[in-house]
Amino acid sequence: MKKLSSFFTDRKIFLFLVGLGGIFFYPFFIFGKIPIPSDALVGLYYPFRDTLNTRYPNGYPYKNPLITDPVRQQYVWRELSVDAFRKGKLPLWNPYSFAGTPLLANFQSASFYPLNILFFIFSFPFAWGILVSLQPTLSLIFMYFYLRELKITKAASVVGSLAFSFSGFSISWLTWNTVGHTVLWLPLILLSGEKIIKNTSLKWSLVLLFSLCSSFFAGHLQTFFYIGVFSLIYFVAKLINGIRHPGFIYPENPYDVRKKLIVFFIFVILFTAITSVQWIPTLGFISQSARNADQANWQKEGWFVPPQNLLQFFAPDFFGNPATGNYYGVWNYGEFIGYIGMIPLFFALYAALKLKDKKSIFFVSIIMVSIVLITDNPVSEIPYRLNIPYIGTSQPTRLMSLIDFSLAVLASLGVDQLRSNTKQKRSVLFSIAIILMLLGIWTFSRNPVARNNLYLSIFLGLIIILTTQAYRIRPSKIVLPVYLLVTVFDLFRFGWKFTPFTSTDLLYPQSSLLSYLEDNSHNYRVMANDRRILPPNVSSHYKIQDVSGYDPLYLLSYNKFVSSWNSNSLNLKPSAFNRIVTPQNYESPVSDLLGIKYLLSLTPVQSLKWEYVMRDGETYLYQNKDVLPRAYLAQTVFQKETDQDVMREVLNNKNSDSAFSTENITLGSKSLTPSESAVIENYEENDIRIKVISGDTRMLVLTDPYYKTWKAFVDEKETQIFKVNFLFRGVVIPSGEHIIEFKNYLF
């Protein structure tokens, strides 16, 4: 028994928590498998399926089809950002998706996240794996020391840190490498705040500032918004309590509320200034994005957590699991799962029912408010009916992060409350009630998946009854280690079941078709006529420019442009692409104007303008014989009254010697001659150089999306960029030979 009690020292617990993180990620640290769903990439999409069709004629077996976003979004965006920083440049622009789109302003690129330093030390895949593994590891450590600051015992703090770090929310968003990193700083924010409230110090002030900025830069704005609001409420509650009861919280050191308020305002100013490099570009991007127009319908089933899915707090796979292919509930599993482990949940509910102190009341209140907001009811519908900016387009289920955090704190409080009062029968009766509830659900559930997935919860409930009763009769130090071991088993089993670990060979594999495009596409673009081919954003890894894209933030002008292009008719009403834009109309003249040189298809294409190039497995590649240059000279700019008139001309015009704009732009009267030219000499993400030879005043049209952060220079002298052809950039060029540069800036 002495060995067990001596184990619970902070230093040993620190090593124990780090070890737990290492054990969970043993496939990565021992076998070199990356925690990213690259198996779904090669199992679901071409031409990657073609690379493995000899060994896997029916397709590569993938573990979890639900979580493909990390390989379609987060990995490639972070890769582009790091690559730009390696070159000594800011990652401002991504020319490889949506025919060109902001990168740094896309909050999920996490360009300024401090832990990105790992990518400059290790290879990118290995650094990615380390970054994923740090999410539960750091949150274990931060949560433990925060709970200790609340005067919770060491063993109980370990239970709470386990429940938080391997909760359903943490596991479901683990491979994104953004959401989890945003959340993991919450315990450190609260810990440093508690320290400052006790005694203002420079050390903890810097820790608070660093943790706040790190959470912000981690790459998920909505989750940070929730964390920021929660932290504000937490500290305001502390200050109010200090005003009403001076010295009550810390009687040995009653604090001056006014002094704390001054410190708070200083933090706000510093935080705002430091993070301005991110929030200013992001707000600018949001203001010009299609976010309000292209969002899922909040009235659609699955926007809120269905009431029946609250059962997943007790049995995470009651409705099945996408990783085992038997999920039969409302889409999607990852948004609804809030499981923290059966044993921690028991203790959390025990503490919630007792409401022994103000901490319990506070965290129970947070849980209740959050549940109201994530489920469908008149209160939770208010932001969407009023169309409140940003909140009105955000799915509320991410509030599950605060629910799991609060449950984890309550679980720690519950452990201590049970240990301090071993004679109460309430704990046994409470656990029996939970078992009876689960047995009742099992009895009335007709679905075999639901019934099978209740067995483990019922078994764990029986363990709780037996150990709690034994502890009540004869308190023993062995009970808490048993609880810990069972909790580790429960949460690790759940986490391993959902999380894929894949070979680096599957991470954006090479194929003969992709190699051909890398060597020959240059500044031209590609498109696919089937969504099963080269999923949006993946081309970014290969530095191939694509017209498709997948992102909650993309330009509204591009949404309208593609809407008209896809339908081959004038349609400037924003379309609901559900954030995934995949143009299909390859026969339209618009595809020529956009510089789309290559088409990927799973079936033969019969067309006069598309010429067969090669076939790689089941994927065909065709070349556009009518493709227009990415930069050209227009001798005339026709002024139109509205954007609608401009788009009409773009759809019908097949000539590259004219342009259309709503502005009055006067050019020379001479006709274009063969000696005039516009040649792209250098094309980089943030810097484009074009050599122009013109016989008169012309309009240089660059078929990249117009965006306010770009500036143009003619022979190093800044000139105005006009929006032409509804989407593109245009610059007036005087007669003669000139060098035109387009440069992108942060603000």
Give the model confidence (pLDDT) of 467-518 as tens digits: 776 666 666 677 888 889 999 999 999 999 999 999 999 999 999 999 999 9
Q: Is residue 530 part of a domain?
A: no
Q: Rounded to 5 degrees, what are φ and ψ at 320?
A: 95, -175
3-state secondary structure of 500: coil
Segment 200-220 shows an average pLDDT of 95
3-state secondary structure of 638: strand
Q: Bridge-partner residues for 197, per DSSP?
A: none
Q: How far apart, in whole angstroms, are the C-alpha atoms of residue 410 and residue 368? A: 13
Question: Given this model, what pLDDT does residue 425 score?
Answer: 56
Long-range contacts of 682-685 (CB under 8 A, 24+ apart): 683/95, 683/523, 683/630, 685/80, 685/84, 685/89, 685/91, 685/92, 685/93, 685/94, 685/95, 685/103, 685/744
Boundary-marking domain end, from 498, 525, 558: 498
pLDDT tens for each residue of 35-74: 999 999 999 999 999 988 888 888 899 999 999 999 999 9
The amino acid sitting at 631 is A
* 635 and 489 together in one domain: no
Domain that holds residue 666: 631-744
Total domains in the fold of the chain: 2
Alpha-carbon separation of residue 464 from 14, 152, 481 (angstroms): 26, 21, 13
Q: How far apart, in whole angstroms, are the C-alpha atoms of residue 483 and residue 491? A: 12
Q: Is residue 384 part of a domain?
A: yes
Q: Is residue 541 part of a domain?
A: no
Helices (H), 150-256: 154-165, 168-172, 179-184, 186-198, 202-217, 221-244
Q: How far apart, in whole angstroms, are the C-alpha atoms of residue 547 and residue 561? A: 11
Q: What is the CA radius of gyration of the chain?
A: 29
Boundary-marking domain end, from 498, 519, 534: 498
The structure tokens 């890398």 sit at 518
Question: Given this model, what pLDDT does residue 295 score?
Answer: 73
Question: Given this model, what pLDDT does residue 428 score?
Answer: 58
DSSP codes joined into one string, 112-162? T-GGGGGGGTS-HHHHHHHHHHHHHHHHHHHHHHHHHHTT--HHHHHHHHH
Q: How far apart, in whole angstroms, are the C-alpha atoms of residue 287 and residue 155? A: 49
Question: Residue 4: pLDDT band by 50, 70, 90 thresholds?
Answer: very low
Q: Which of 84-93, 233-242, 281-290, 537-546 has the lowest mean pLDDT?
A: 233-242
The amino acid sitting at 76 is V
Confidence (pTM) = 0.93
CB 84 within 8 A of CB 65: no
Enumerate residues 6+ apart whose C-beta is below 8 A from 604.
612, 620
Question: The tokens of 106 are what?
Answer: 């896309």
Segment 549-569 shows an average pLDDT of 95
Segment 694-720 shows an average pLDDT of 97
CB atoms within 10 A of CB 250: 14
Long-range contacts of 455-461 (CB under 8 A, 24+ apart): 456/315, 456/342, 456/490, 457/314, 457/315, 457/342, 460/342, 460/343, 460/486, 460/490, 461/342, 461/346, 461/431, 461/434, 461/435
Q: Given CA atoms 150, 156, 160, 161 in this order, what sign does their dihedral have?
A: positive
Question: The tokens of 189 are what?
Answer: 């924010």
pLDDT top residue among 3 and 372: 372
Boundary-marking domain end, from 476, 498, 520: 498
Enumerate residues 6+ apart whose C-beta is below 8 A from 251.
none
The amino acid sitting at 131 is L
Mean pLDDT, the chain, as a whole number? 91
Segment 198-218 shows an average pLDDT of 93
Q: Is residue 473 part of a domain?
A: yes
Q: Is residue 131 part of a domain?
A: yes
Query: What CATH number is given to the structural domain containing 635?
Result: 2.60.40
Q: At what angle do helices 342-354 and 455-473 cross, to 10 degrees?
A: 60
Q: How far apart, in whole angstroms, are the C-alpha atoms of residue 596 and residue 251? A: 71
CB 92 within 8 A of CB 746: yes
Segment 686-693 shows an average pLDDT of 98
pLDDT tens for each residue of 246-303: 554 444 445 566 777 788 888 899 999 999 999 999 999 999 999 888 777 788 889 9
Enumerate residues 6+ apart whose C-beta is below 8 A from 435.
458, 461, 462, 465
Q: How far apart, in whole angstroms, are the C-alpha atoms of residue 692 and residue 676? A: 8
CB atoms within 10 A of CB 253: 10
pLDDT top residue among 267 and 355: 267
CB 551 within 8 A of CB 101: yes
Enumerate residues 6+ apart whose C-beta is below 8 A from 711.
718, 721, 742, 743, 744, 745
CA 655 remoteness from chain centre: 41
Segment 553-578 shows an average pLDDT of 91
Q: Shortest CA distance to 621 belongs to which of 518, 508, 509, 506?
A: 518
pLDDT top residue among 52 and 228: 228
CA dihedral angle for residue 391, residue 64, residue 179, residue 137, rounded to 10 degrees = 150
Q: Is residue 424 part of a domain?
A: yes
Question: The tokens of 411 are what?
Answer: 């679980």
pLDDT tens for each residue of 522-536: 999 999 999 999 999
Q: What angle do CA 485, 490, 495 make, to 5 degrees?
A: 120
The amino acid sitting at 527 is M
Question: Given this model, what pLDDT does residue 8 score?
Answer: 58
pLDDT tens for each residue of 127-178: 999 999 999 999 999 999 999 999 999 999 999 999 999 999 999 999 999 9
Q: Shortest CA distance to 71 belongs to which of 95, 43, 38?
A: 38
pLDDT tens for each residue of 383-442: 999 988 888 888 999 999 999 999 999 999 999 988 777 555 555 566 667 766 766 776
Q: Is residue 97 part of a domain?
A: no
Question: Given this model, what pLDDT does residue 133 score?
Answer: 98
Q: Is residue 45 part of a domain?
A: yes
Question: Given this model, what pLDDT does residue 28 score?
Answer: 98
pLDDT top residue among 585 and 417: 585
Print the SS3 string covering 389-423. Answer: CCHHHCCHHHHHHHHHHHHHHHHHHHHHHHHHCCC
